[in-house]
Amino acid sequence: MKELTIDATVENIVAVTSFVEGELETLGCPMRAQMQIAVAIDELFGNIAHYAYNPDVGPATVRVEVMENPLAVVITFIDNGVQYDPLAREDPDTTLSADEREIGGLGIYMVKKSMDEITYEYKDGQNILRIRKTI
């Protein structure tokens, strides 16, 4: 398991993405999966940066774990910010036009569709969001 703790700012999305991509490359992760994971990082870490400590800045930890049989990567996002379960929100109705849809929720919906598993828990004052992608 590898771990990075960094300030939850939009500017640090690039550092988090580079950290995770470095681990994915050692696994020989296919480019398509890498791109899907990069989009997920952008959405999930971006949400932490925007909302967890607003208007302040606080730390976020990103863990990368490799699972065997089947080969998969689990990425965990941990913050001590405001309790928020992004999975509790109803998925947007993608049959509606962008003008007719409610604002918000599309990014998490895309993460749900591109990852094999996504879970959330609030434990010991921490938001813990995990995504799993089979490689």
d(CA 33, CA 84): 27
- Is-contact 128 107, C-beta < 8 A? no
The per-residue pLDDT for 98 is: 60
The per-residue pLDDT for 110 is: 87
The per-residue pLDDT for 25 is: 92
Q: Which stretches of the chain score pLDDT less than 70?
A: 91-106
d(CA 41, CA 10): 11
Q: For the beta carbon of residue 37, count every other beta carbon within 10 angstroms.
A: 24
Q: Which helix (H) or strand (E) holds 40?
A: helix 31-47
Q: For the domain that residue 14 is a member of, what is the CATH number?
A: 3.30.565.10
Q: Which domain holds residue 52?
A: 2-134
Angle between helices 31-47 and 13-26 (to 10 degrees): 150
Which pTM was predicted? Answer: 0.90
The per-residue pLDDT for 21 is: 96
Number of domains into which the chain is organized: 1
